[in-house]
């Protein structure tokens, strides 16, 4: 009998603002599309691709972790550039805290 362990999805995170009702999608990595030797199998790659495409379509704002991810979202999922926002770097956040 096969057992599938449920793992958290670190590629895609979805949020909804309680006050304004805006939906956000945070995409951290698109390596499952371009890197066939990654840790994802065929089914996981297609499932993540479907979920990312659907989340980007339904979200009011898409947050990308890097410029490469933003370019990939435009290239693979045809997300408008006006809808994509780059998240600030971790170093910039730590500098503001100090």
- Domain-wise residue ranges, the chain: 21-97
Read off the tokens for 20.
């304004």
Mean pLDDT of 47-66: 92
Instruction: Label residue 9 by pLDDT band (50, 70, 90).
Output: low
Q: What is the mean pLDDT of the chain?
A: 81
Mean pLDDT of 62-84: 94
The pLDDT of residue 98: 46
Say yes or no to pLDDT of 21 above 80: yes
């Amino acid at each position: 009998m096969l057992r599938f362990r449920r793992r958290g999805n670190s590629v895609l995170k979805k949020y909804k603002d309680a006050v304004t009702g805006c939906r956000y999608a945070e995409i951290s990595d698109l390596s499952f599309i371009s890197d066939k030797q990654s840790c994802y199998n065929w089914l996981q790659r297609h499932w993540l691709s479907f979920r990312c495409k659907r989340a980007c379509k339904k979200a009011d704002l898409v947050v990308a972790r890097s410029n490469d991810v933003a370019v990939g979202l435009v290239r693979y999922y045809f997300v408008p550039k006006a809808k994509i926002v780059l998240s600030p770097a971790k170093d910039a956040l730590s500098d503001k805290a100090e």
